[in-house]
Structure 1
Amino acid sequence: MTIVITAPTGNTGGRIAQQLIAAGEKVAVLVRDPARIADVIRQNATIYQGSVDDPAALTQATQNADALYLVVPYNFGTFHLRQWQRQVGAAAAAAIATNAIPHVVNLSSNGAHRPNGMGPISGLHAVEQSLNAVAANVVHLRPGFFMENYLLQLDAIRTTHQVFMPIAGDRRLAMIATQDIADVATKLLRDRAWSGQSVLGLHGATDLNFDEAAQILGQVLKQPVTHVQTTLDQFRDTLLQLGATEHVAGEYVEMWSGLAHPDYSPAEPRTPETTTPTTFVQFVQDKMMPLLAEPTTA
């Protein structure tokens, strides 16, 4: 009985793989660069080197798999993001069909019910459809806004006590820590009594607006922190400076525009099942404060 994990160097895949190993499960991982995986995974899992958009690599890695955890990774270098996302969906569908993988857990997103207008999130809609065409048993996890996005703001918080994002401070979204996503996925991958095709929203401990998140940052860090709304053009320029292609930058601009639109809300209502334990206060204390305490290098 093998559980196959894609993106084992990522926030969710790495935690899932380590939790499964600790629980005594047989784990295999598909990874582009094995040197980047954690030692505990390297020492205890079967390692397949390859990319998740390669049907041959994914099919080889999932031979005799009892379950698959699928992640569509970020790809800032592609010249057509939606096409690349469709390639990943097609590769996964081919592997699922060829190897008759009994259970699939797919990392999707809040907003993936919209086939258009949400940038890369709408690309995940297409991936969901590809998997539904072949997988008898699949759960699409649709988490909210990753709290980890705030880790990209560490330098700005240190130097300006500000957070810069292309969205209004009063926009309220479900915010979730990726460890909570991983914990839900681990449970689904281990306890495979579930059946059929379903969607599971994951909404974190509570909805927050971005001003409230900045206020919490300030309270925990004991210094004022404010949210500053940048323009979408400024955001696009930042992505281009970080190496994104023009197309990818445009897709992420569309995503932020979609998240900010007044008529946007997750298709899945918040329930006790979709509410997860980690609060933003806990995230800031556990994940951000240690990093902010590290000395900066010139």
Structure 2
Amino acid sequence: MSILVTGATGQLGRRITQELLTKTSDVIAMVRSPEKGADLTELGAEIRVGNFNDRDSLRSAFDGVEVVALVTSKAHVKERILQQENVLDAAQDAGVKRIVFASFATCQPDSLFHMAPFYLYAESRLRLSGLEWTILRNGMYLDPVADWIPDLIKMGRLPYPVDSGRIAYVCRDDLARSFAAASLDDSHAGEIYSLTGPESLSMNDLAAAISQATGKAIPFETVSENEFVEICRMGNEPEVMIGILLSMYRAVDQGEFAETTRDMEKLTGRHPMTALEYLQQRCGTGK
């Protein structure tokens, strides 16, 4: 079975590609710049060039492919919808059998998250495409929190514009294992899985895990949206991304990321990491 991973040099796509290569040699990494996929070539992946905005390049990349593990770009809603159309049309033209789609937890009509309309559209369009499909709704990534730890230590606090919301954080490594499992097994066709961590954490819970992993006291502090915007700007976050983040944390307080499931365990046969386990791994303080 030939499996192509889109966005294969991105943070999730690269991990999916690497995980697949531990299970099969028939893995194709779709990239925009071949030089960025050099390490994947060394691991055994075939490199093909494709661009979500170029339907012809996608048809060429998808030639002979049975399964596409679809990780979309970071474009905003309108552009990403057009890219999704290109992917589906190219997949049909190339004879792709099934698409395993990276959706998101907030795929619901009343979501406060700004990107939710894309995921609503993309899931519906995929299900009506005539292709076989598997939908994996990713929970909120814990990885960026770990990336932020050096700054959190400097600030001496965990500042988010959240009141009582909870998050079932998940790490990209666990997501990659789930994507690989779903891509390799056609019995997952027609299924929707919600991929979450094993625990629904309050911000105080998260702060406690960070404090334990780092050995530093880093309490949670609710901040206003205006203060959070300034914190993001100091970290050189793009303005568009700041707006998306604000909408995401509004969705947190609406309970959109609080649900936990065992879908990841069903797919992989193993428990996803807890927040503390992952943070200790990243900080080098785990057992």
Are 1:148 and 1:177, in contact at CA under 8 Å, matched by a contact in 2?
yes
> Superposition pairs for residues 232-251 of structure 1, below 5 Å?
232-237=225-230, 242=236, 244-246=238-240, 248-251=241-244
Tell me if 1:144 matches 2:139.
Answer: yes
Unpaired runs of 5+ residues, structure 2, are: 266-270
Tell me if 1:51 matches 2:51.
Answer: yes
2:220 match: 227
> Superposition pairs for residues 1-298 of structure 1, below 5 Å?
1-37=1-37, 39-42=39-42, 44-75=44-75, 81-114=76-109, 117-168=112-163, 170-196=164-190, 198-237=191-230, 242=236, 244-246=238-240, 248-261=241-254, 264=256, 270-274=260-264, 276-289=271-284
Q: Alpha-carbon deviation of 1:239?
A: 5.1
Are 1:206 and 1:279, in contact at CA under 8 Å, matched by a contact in 2?
yes
Are 2:12 and 2:172, in contact at CA under 8 Å, matched by a contact in 1?
yes
Listed one character per residue, the Cα deviations across residues 64-109 of structure 1 (whole Å, up to 9, x for unaligned) are 111001112324xxxxx11112022112211222123112111111
Are 1:177 and 1:283, in contact at CA under 8 Å, matched by a contact in 2?
yes
- The one-letter code sitting in structure 1 at the alignment partner of 2:186 is R
TM score, norm. by length of structure 1: 0.83
Paired positions, count: 279
Q: Secondary structure at the match of 2:90?
A: helix
Are 1:18 and 1:41, in contact at CA under 8 Å, matched by a contact in 2?
no
Q: Secondary structure at the match of 2:135?
A: strand
Q: Secondary structure at the match of 1:142?
A: strand
Q: 1:73 to 1:42 in 2, by over 3 A?
A: farther
Q: 1:88 to 1:34 in 2, by over 3 A?
A: same
Q: Distance in 2 between matches of 1:140 and 1:71?
A: 11
Listed one character per residue, the Cα deviations across residues 135-170 of structure 1 (whole Å, up to 9, x for unaligned) are 4321111121111120342232231232222223x3
Unpaired runs of 5+ residues, structure 1, are: 76-80, 291-298
Q: Distance in 2 between matches of 1:115 and 1:60?
A: 38
Q: Secondary structure at the match of 2:148?
A: helix
1:294 match: none
TM score, norm. by length of structure 2: 0.86
Q: 1:159 to 1:194 in 2, by over 3 A?
A: closer
